[in-house]
Amino acid sequence: MIRVGIVGSRFAANLHAEALVATGRAELVAVTSATETSRSSFATRWGVRSYPSIEQMLASEKLDLVSLALPNRFHADATVAAAHAGVHVICEKPLALNLRDADRMLAACREAGVLLLYGEELCFAPQYRRVKTLIQEGAFGTVFSLAHRERHSGPHAQWFYDPELSGGGALLDMACHGIELCRWLLDKEPVAGVFCRLGNFRHRGAAVEDHAIVSLRFQSGAIATVEGSWAAVGGIDDRLEIMGENGGMVADLARGSAMLAYSERGVGYASEKADDTVGWSHVSYEEAWHWGWPQEFAHFVDCIEGAAQPEETGVDGRATLEIIMAAYRSAATGAEVELPFETDAVRPIDLWRPPA
């Protein structure tokens, strides 16, 4: 059994815990979080020991793996601490707050000989894996257009709206999914140019953007359009469309795998971010499985056991972050930004809205 410590104690941390336990090969032994109330609740739910810092957890427990589900600002320091302790790392997206931190994480894990695994569950979602298989089989000929959208009404926790902790809004939090998904579908083909538009439409007073449209130009000439939004009501929406010379495909991850229900009273929980279930609603079942969480973590456990090569690594997280940084710059200039793109910006959003 792989001994695991969870860093974080709220929504994503519980998803990580559920997926790891579902593998049957991982034992949750500890949690650390800066928030005492949620940390205590998490420890009680999962029957693990609780620590106020990752340093104390690493010093007190013999761990094989830490799974990071904490605010973006702290990803780098937590990863470096784990690497110095000889512990593998799963890092929830986005990889880091900036490129310098991403490079620091990669270097620490490389020098320690531990894995840095990038948490992008959409690359493990069964529908999207089937899409990739069909692309590889040549069912659609050469793919020249991809479009992905993921949108809902806003994050689970307030720290997402604080640029000091998050580094940015819907582009960093949501569009990151579609960017890496499109890279993965095209076998990690390099992106040559990025164009982006950002705005605030539902959360107008927020310090970070709530809506993003990103256009990616790949080296082959293929084009991807990625939409990430916190401005959409009615529950989470996640769709993928591809076009090739000989055909195409549409996959509806959020609603295509749901049941359609009507209730005058409401059905309770229907799906993520579905706040109102009176009337017609899409009711999910085995939601985590459809989104790829158990498959992702089973694959990561395989990697730690030496039975598989990682499909999503810190290198992929760094590539996605570089594209995101270029997208923020494009939103500021109104022009396409070519890659590779290097910047010393401390936070991605600073490339769009410089700090006062």
pLDDT at position 83: 98
Q: Residue written as tokens 């996959």?
A: 251
Both 279 and 142 in one domain: the answer is: yes
Task: Note the pLDDT tens digit of each residue in 12-59.
Answer: 999 999 999 999 999 999 999 999 999 999 999 999 999 999 999 999
- Identity (one letter) of the amino acid at 64? D
Residue spans of alpha helices (H) in the chain: 11-22, 36-46, 54-60, 75-84, 99-112, 126-137, 163-166, 170, 176-185, 287-291, 293-304, 314-333
Does some domain include residue 356? Answer: no
In this prediction, what percent of the chain has a pLDDT beyond 70?
100
Tokens of 54: 């990752």
Rounded Cα distance, 247 and 155, in Å: 36
Residue 270 pLDDT > 80? no
Both 77 and 149 in one domain: the answer is: no
pTM of the model: 0.95
Across the range 326-353, mean pLDDT stands at 98
Does some domain include residue 354? Answer: no
Does some domain include residue 174? Answer: yes
User: What confidence tier does 151 reach under pLDDT thresholds 50, 70, 90?
Assistant: very high
The CATH number of whichever domain residue 185 belongs to comes to 3.30.360.10
Both 131 and 269 in one domain: the answer is: yes
Both 32 and 181 in one domain: the answer is: no
The CATH number of whichever domain residue 110 belongs to comes to 3.40.50.720
Both 222 and 265 in one domain: the answer is: yes
Query: Quick check: 114 and 87 in contact, CB under 8 A?
Result: yes
Both 101 and 155 in one domain: the answer is: no
Neighbouring CB atoms inside 10 A of 269's CB total 11
Both 206 and 332 in one domain: the answer is: yes
Both 6 and 66 in one domain: the answer is: yes
Residue 155 pLDDT > 80? yes
- When divided into structural domains, the chain yields a total of 2
Does some domain include residue 305? Answer: no
Q: Which bin fits 22, alpha (ψ -120 to 50), beta or left (φ > 0)?
A: alpha
User: What confidence tier does 285 reach under pLDDT thresholds 50, 70, 90?
Assistant: confident
Residue 356 pLDDT > 80? no
Tokens of 114: 């531990």
Does some domain include residue 300? Answer: no
Both 169 and 31 in one domain: the answer is: no
Both 70 and 127 in one domain: the answer is: no
Task: Note the pLDDT tens digit of each residue in 161-187.
Answer: 999 999 999 999 999 999 999 999 999
Task: Note the pLDDT tens digit of each residue in 194-243.
Answer: 999 999 999 999 999 999 999 999 999 999 999 999 999 988 999 999 99
Nearest to 311 by CA among 67, 119, 96, 146: 119
Across the range 75-85, mean pLDDT stands at 98
User: What confidence tier does 276 reach under pLDDT thresholds 50, 70, 90?
Assistant: confident
Q: Count how many residues are written for the chain.
A: 356
Last residue of a domain, one of 121, 154, 177: 121
Residue 273 pLDDT > 80? no
pLDDT at position 213: 98
Measure CA 59 to chain center: 28
Last residue of a domain, one of 90, 121, 152: 121
Does some domain include residue 99? Answer: yes
Both 167 and 90 in one domain: the answer is: no
* Full domain range(s) for residue 220: 123-293+319-338
Last residue of a domain, one of 121, 153, 171: 121
Does some domain include residue 345? Answer: no
pLDDT at position 271: 80
Write b or e for each residue in 95-113: b if 16 or more Cβ atoms lie within 10 A of its Cβ, otherwise e: bbbbbebbebbbebbeebe
What angle separates helix 176-185 from helix 314-333, to the nearest 10 degrees?
120
Neighbouring CB atoms inside 10 A of 333's CB total 12
pLDDT at position 200: 97
Both 115 and 170 in one domain: the answer is: no
Nearest to 109 by CA among 122, 119, 121, 118: 118
If you average pLDDT over every residue of the chain, what do you get? 96
Nearest to 11 by CA among 80, 81, 71: 71
Does some domain include residue 348? Answer: no
pLDDT at position 290: 93
